[in-house]
Amino acid sequence: MTATLAPPVRIGRAAVGALGMLAVATGALESVVTPTLPLLQRELDMSPSEGALLSIVLLITGALITPVAGKFGDRYGGKRVLIRLMAVVCTGGLVSAMAPNLPVLLLGQVLQGAMVGALPLSFILVRKHLPAGEAKVAIGVVSGLFVGGGMAGTLSAGPVAEGLSRHWMFALPTFAVIGSTLLVNRLMPHDPPGRSDDAGVDWPGLVLLSGTLVTLMLVLAVAPDIGSQPLVLGFLIVVLAAFVAGWIAVERRAASPMVDLRMLARPAVWKSCVLTFVICLGTSVAVYLVPQLFDVPADAYGFGASATEIGFFLLPGAVAASLAGPISGIGARRFGSRAMVTTGVVIMVIALIALAAVHTEVWHLILGKAMIALANGLCVTAMVTNTATSVEHSDTGIATSLVLVTRVLGFAVGAQISAAILTAGTPSGSDVPAESAFVTGFVIAAAVTALSLLVTRTMSKGVKE
């Protein structure tokens, strides 16, 4: 006999405002590493590969946590899971703030990665407690505030790190997350749990996918030193192959797999995954290389920019990324998903080639990075929309989770390849990579991104009827 659940309590503006404050705080905490990565590399004596790992570890954790958080939110109630998730995030922020070295900072970032699951849980709460029309407005507000928080973090991280210390750069937004979480806990009513899912969570698949991603990062980090560590690299490749084989076997047999690999047989899904991987790889090259190029001393070929200046220089890219989603949505409705993806790919290839050819002025890098951020937003939004509308309603979550995993892989591989190129291009006894290393990275990214046009030609137009 199934118990009748009481209807959820309608929430007011104060509760939505608390969710918005939480979105601002988490967006700020998520974005502090990118503009200050060169500073962190110097203070913690990191190699380029270690810096690349630091820049993506939060994203990897988020990709693993998000589907589990969503399932738990539906099963046990969005508020209950959100508060517990934010407790993990706050712990991670405090660990990052107090970290004396890289391993502890990486642990803090791993814990902070749980914040990626907070936004979907906020949407669950809004949809349960508000009518459909008001829920759409509230979701838009929360999403916009998260983007705004990211911009605030990008701008403030440098001044805080240089004026106070790198520890306060993590501590201040963490305090804001703690305060806003307490507000959400006080103002947001509990939502009734949903129907229990007998299949449960695919824990073996989650563990094996985690091992696969971590081992892949280690392989890419060790690859530049293959001459001095061939046995280590060989061992890691064997371990990676074992993780991949085990994960595939488990996912094919799981009653409720974390990632249903059978979906890859569908053209709309595998094409979206391939395009997502390639485009995010190209994007991550720019995300990693541009701040490094800003940081190169002015007496070499760079600009010797401070962390504060780097954050200011990256702001136009953040603005372009925030505008890309709405633009892509409107364009996909009018011209189709394929047209938007093709446009985004062309813009990104042009921007990457331009950065390789001309990077002697600050505005060259600002404009190039903004174009790449815009292109990435156009492509990813259009592909997620195309994927979600190309499968049955019951398969939407499975299909989009595949796109999410390939997005993380693209960013991770691109960042590590960029770091490997800089490591290989750094002369012995010097801390400054050769200028040709940056050129090589941008050219490789442009070439790989251009190859995706072979796939976009075969996409359905995706024009909404």
Measure the CA–CA gap between 286 and 306, rounded to whole angstroms.
18
Predicted pLDDT of residue 364: 93
Share of the chain above pLDDT 90, in %: 13
Measure the CA–CA gap between 19 and 22, rounded to whole angstroms.
5
Q: Is the pLDDT of residue 409 over 50?
A: yes
Query: Do residues 276 and 385 lie in contact, with contact meaning Cβ atoms separated by under 8 Å?
Result: no
Measure the CA–CA gap between 450 and 445, rounded to whole angstroms.
9
Measure the CA–CA gap between 71 and 244, rounded to whole angstroms.
24
Query: Do residues 385 and 399 lie in contact, with contact meaning Cβ atoms separated by under 8 Å?
Result: no
Q: Is the pLDDT of residue 234 over 80?
A: yes
240 membership: H or E segment, kind and range: helix 230-253
DSSP state of 46: -
Burial of residue 256 (number of CB atoms within 10 Å: 0-12, 13-18, 19+): middle
Q: Which two tokens stand for residue 116?
A: 């990626």
Q: Is the pLDDT of residue 241 over 50?
A: yes
Q: Is the pLDDT of residue 265 over 80?
A: no
Predicted pLDDT of residue 210: 80
Please name the residues in contact with 397: beta carbons below 8 A apart, sequence gap of 6 or more. Answer: 67, 70
459 membership: H or E segment, kind and range: none
Q: Is the pLDDT of residue 343 over 60?
A: yes
Q: How confident is the model at residue 4 (pLDDT cuts 50, 70, 90)?
A: very low
Q: Is the pLDDT of residue 396 over 70?
A: no
Q: Do domains 11-187 and 259-465 have the same CATH topology?
A: yes
Predicted pLDDT of residue 371: 93
- The pLDDT mean for the chain works out to 80
Q: What is the 3 state secondary structure string of 382-437?
A: HHHHHHHHHCCHHHHHHHHHHHHHHHHHHHHHHHHHHHHHHHHCCCCCCCCCCHHH
Q: How many CA atoms lie within 13 A of 192 on its CB side?
A: 10
Measure the CA–CA gap between 158 and 175, rounded to whole angstroms.
18
More confident residue, 123 or 344: 344
Q: Is the pLDDT of residue 3 over 50?
A: no
Measure the CA–CA gap between 62 and 253, rounded to whole angstroms.
24
Q: How confident is the model at residue 261 (pLDDT cuts 50, 70, 90)?
A: confident
Predicted pLDDT of residue 228: 66
Burial 42-63 (b: 16+ CB within 10 A, else e): eebebbbbbbbbbbbbbbbbbb
Average pLDDT (179-189) is 84
Q: Which two tokens stand for residue 44?
A: 């913690």
Predicted pLDDT of residue 465: 39
Query: Do residues 40 and 54 lie in contact, with contact meaning Cβ atoms separated by under 8 Å?
Result: yes
CB under 8 A, 24+ apart: contacts of 125-134: 125/11, 125/19, 125/78, 125/79, 125/82, 125/188, 125/191, 126/16, 126/19, 128/8, 128/78, 128/191, 128/192, 129/8, 129/9, 129/10, 129/11, 129/15, 129/188, 129/189, 129/191, 130/10, 130/11, 130/16
Measure the CA–CA gap between 289 and 296, rounded to whole angstroms.
11
Tell me which range, 139-143, 255-259, 327-331, 441-445, is most confidently predicted by mean pLDDT.
441-445
Predicted pLDDT of residue 400: 62
Q: Which two tokens stand for residue 109?
A: 């970032």
Residue pLDDT, tens place only, 81-140: 888 888 999 999 999 999 898 889 988 988 888 887 777 777 667 766 666 666 666 666
Measure the CA–CA gap between 197 and 71, rounded to whole angstroms.
9
Average pLDDT (166-187) is 89
Q: Which two tokens stand for residue 465?
A: 């009827």
Burial of residue 129 (number of CB atoms within 10 Å: 0-12, 13-18, 19+): buried
Q: How confident is the model at residue 194 (pLDDT cuts 50, 70, 90)?
A: low
Closest-CA residue to 30 (of 109, 94, 131, 119): 109
Predicted pLDDT of residue 258: 67
Average pLDDT (238-265) is 80
Measure the CA–CA gap between 411 and 414, rounded to whole angstroms.
5
How do the domains of the chain map onto residue ranges? 11-187, 203-258, 259-465
Assigned fold of 259-465: Growth Hormone; Chain: A; (1.20.1250)
Least confident of 233-242, 376-385, 420-429: 376-385
SS3 319: helix
Measure the CA–CA gap between 416 and 403, rounded to whole angstroms.
20
Predicted pLDDT of residue 365: 93
More confident residue, 132 or 305: 305
More confident residue, 398 or 97: 97
More confident residue, 341 or 400: 341
Tell me how far the alpha carbon of residue 403 is from its chain's centroid: 12
Q: How confident is the model at residue 154 (pLDDT cuts 50, 70, 90)?
A: confident
Measure the CA–CA gap between 130 and 200, rounded to whole angstroms.
28
Residue pLDDT, tens place only, 266-293: 777 788 788 888 888 888 888 889 988 9
Average pLDDT (132-159) is 74
Query: Do residues 173 and 32 lie in contact, with contact meaning Cβ atoms separated by under 8 Å?
Result: yes
CATH no., domain 11-187: 1.20.1250.20
Share of the chain above pLDDT 70, in %: 81
Predicted pLDDT of residue 57: 82
Burial of residue 13 (number of CB atoms within 10 Å: 0-12, 13-18, 19+): exposed
